[in-house]
Amino acid sequence: MSPLSETRSAPRQAGTPLAARILAGWLERITTGQLTLCPPRGPARTFTGSRSGPEAELRLRRPARVLARVLHRGDLGFAEAYMAGEWDTPDLAALIELLIYNEHAYNASPAGRWYSRLALALYHRLRPNTPTGSRRNIAAHYDLGNDFYELWLDETMTYSSALFAEPEQGLAAAQRHKHAETLRQLGARPGEHLLEIGCGWGSLARAAAEAGVHVTGVTLSREQLAWAREHLRTAGGAGRAELRLADYRELAGRYDHIASIEMFEAVGREHWPAFFATLQQRLRPGGRALLQVITIDEAAFPVYEQAPDFIQRYIFPGGMLPTLGHLREGLQEAGLELEQVSAHGGDYAATLAAWQRRFNARAEALEALGFGERFQRMWRYYLGYCEGGFRSGRIELHRILARRPDA
């Protein structure tokens, strides 16, 4: 959502705060979907676009604070108002999706005033993904504690999009299906050696080891590594898998296959060439690499690159989504041949919806771990923000299979 530089005067309604009337004036411009605005006092108003789309509800608790935040901080201010409990909605994903569809109706910067844009840009630049910076940035997200993630991830402890073989498939089964598809696409056979860059809690490594594939997995999260090693031993796959704390730039040797599942988003744009070069250097001739990457729409990238968003500020410091074009170009410049590209945004939207339900159901347990209301609202916004992004097509999930040519 972005503020208007100029707005039409909203009709005056008795008992409705001025800020709510100004916000209503903005919403009169929507062209897609339907939004119901519920002020703290006075009647609700419904705004309907000329084109069908999602239906959402925005419940204002402190309209003046919401308005001030949006005017000064744009999209980020809107998110911060939610974190502060100044507005609410029964369906975050639907609201975000609707606002994305209608952003063309607004004509001011999505990052708010110039000083907010400058502050955000400086914050992002101060979180570079150098070897040292990457460890700090990863720790900020993944070292929240294994107890935190165990509360709401599925039993496989997989923190990336599932691939659903059928719409009604359970989340854990869909994650296992993704692991099996990854090994199948790579053509990984028993006895071959797979490198996983960004192994997380080791779910793919366990699946590969169970299939007889040798695995070397690397992560920058100490919390993840400790959990993954322990559960690898419990699963009996320790003899075929080695998981270690390492940066992808520190790796040596050659591997039959490489998998990297939703790690590229944390690489940082200035380091993309080094990542692609690593794939080429670590693959044996004829070997394949499979990347699963969240991408952003080509048309949205220029603004996104210049104005760090909610995810970069609060969830993944130092992160940067590529476009599909960036991935194609980077792989080709590294001397790798693209063999297959597929899109799975619907799978990610379904995964995020499942995570949101699980997260919401564990509110008391999260509170007991020390994750209070503001933190929980930040994460609920994060999950809904991403789900709405995938449903709108602003972001997409791509799986890309590439091959190093034979020598």
pLDDT in tens, 251-276: 999 999 999 999 999 999 999 999 99
Q: How far apart are CA 274 and CA 260, in angstroms?
A: 14
Mean pLDDT score, 234-239 = 72
So what's the pLDDT on residue 106?
Answer: 59
Considering Cα of 153, then 154, then 155, then 156, what sign does the dihedral take? negative
SS3 172: helix
195 forms beta bridges with 216, 258
Give burial (CB, 10 Å; 0-12/13-18/19+) of 6. exposed
Q: How far apart are CA 212 and CA 202, in angstroms?
A: 15
Lowest mean pLDDT among 82-96, 102-116, 229-243, 320-334: 102-116
Mean pLDDT score, 143-163 = 94
- Residue 114 banded pLDDT, cuts 50, 70, 90: very low
pLDDT of residue 129 exceeding 90: no
Question: Quick one: which of 27, 3, 25 has its CA closest to 111?
Answer: 3
So what's the pLDDT on residue 318?
Answer: 79
Structure tokens at 325: 């074009």
Q: How far apart are CA 233 and CA 241, in angstroms?
A: 10
pLDDT of residue 359 exceeding 80: yes
- Rounded to two decimals, the pTM is 0.88
pLDDT in tens, 205-215: 999 999 999 99
Q: How far apart are CA 43 and CA 56, in angstroms?
A: 16
Give burial (CB, 10 Å; 0-12/13-18/19+) of 335. middle
So what's the pLDDT on residue 284?
Answer: 98
Catalytic residue among 386, 395, 401, 402: 386
Most confident of 8-12, 99-103, 120-124, 359-363: 359-363
So what's the pLDDT on residue 135?
Answer: 47
The DSSP code sequence of 76-138 is HHHHHHHHTTSEE-S-HHHHHHHHHHTGGG--S-TT-SHHHHHHHHHHHHTS--SHHHHHHHH
So what's the pLDDT on residue 119?
Answer: 45
Using an 8 Å Cβ cutoff, are 295 and 321 in contact? Answer: yes
So what's the pLDDT on residue 132?
Answer: 56
Q: What count of other Cβ atoms lies within 10 Å of the Cβ of residue 288?
A: 22
pLDDT of residue 130 exceeding 80: no
Sorted by sequence, the CB contacts under 8 Å of residue 72 that are 6+ apart come out as 112, 113, 116
So what's the pLDDT on residue 134?
Answer: 53
- Residue 4 banded pLDDT, cuts 50, 70, 90: very low
So what's the pLDDT on residue 123?
Answer: 45
Mean pLDDT score, 319-329 = 96
Considering Cα of 235, then 238, then 240, then 246, what sign does the dihedral take? positive
The b/e string for 93-132 (b: 16+ C-beta within 10 A; e otherwise) is bbbbbbbbbbbebbeebbbbbeebbebbeeebeebbbeee
238 or 318, which is more confident: 318
H/E element holding 333?
Answer: helix 324-333
Phi/psi of residue 384, each to 5°?
Answer: -70, -35
Q: Which alpha helices (DSSP H) does 130-258 contain, by range?
A: 131-142, 146-152, 171-186, 203-210, 222-234
Q: State the chain's mean pLDDT as an integer.
A: 88
pLDDT of residue 15 exceeding 70: no
258 or 136, which is more confident: 258
So what's the pLDDT on residue 90?
Answer: 97
Using an 8 Å Cβ cutoff, are 292 and 397 in contact? Answer: yes
So what's the pLDDT on residue 122?
Answer: 46
Phi/psi of residue 100, each to 5°?
Answer: -65, -45
Say whether 38 is catalytic. no
pLDDT in tens, 48-86: 999 999 999 999 999 999 988 888 888 889 999 999 999
Q: Percent of the chain, pLDDT > 70?
A: 86
Sorted by sequence, the CB contacts under 8 Å of residue 132 that are 6+ apart come out as none
pLDDT in tens, 370-404: 999 999 999 999 999 999 999 999 999 999 999 99
Give burial (CB, 10 Å; 0-12/13-18/19+) of 188. buried
Q: Would you give the end-to-end CA distance of the chain in angstroms?
A: 51
Lowest mean pLDDT among 25-29, 37-41, 132-136, 248-252: 132-136
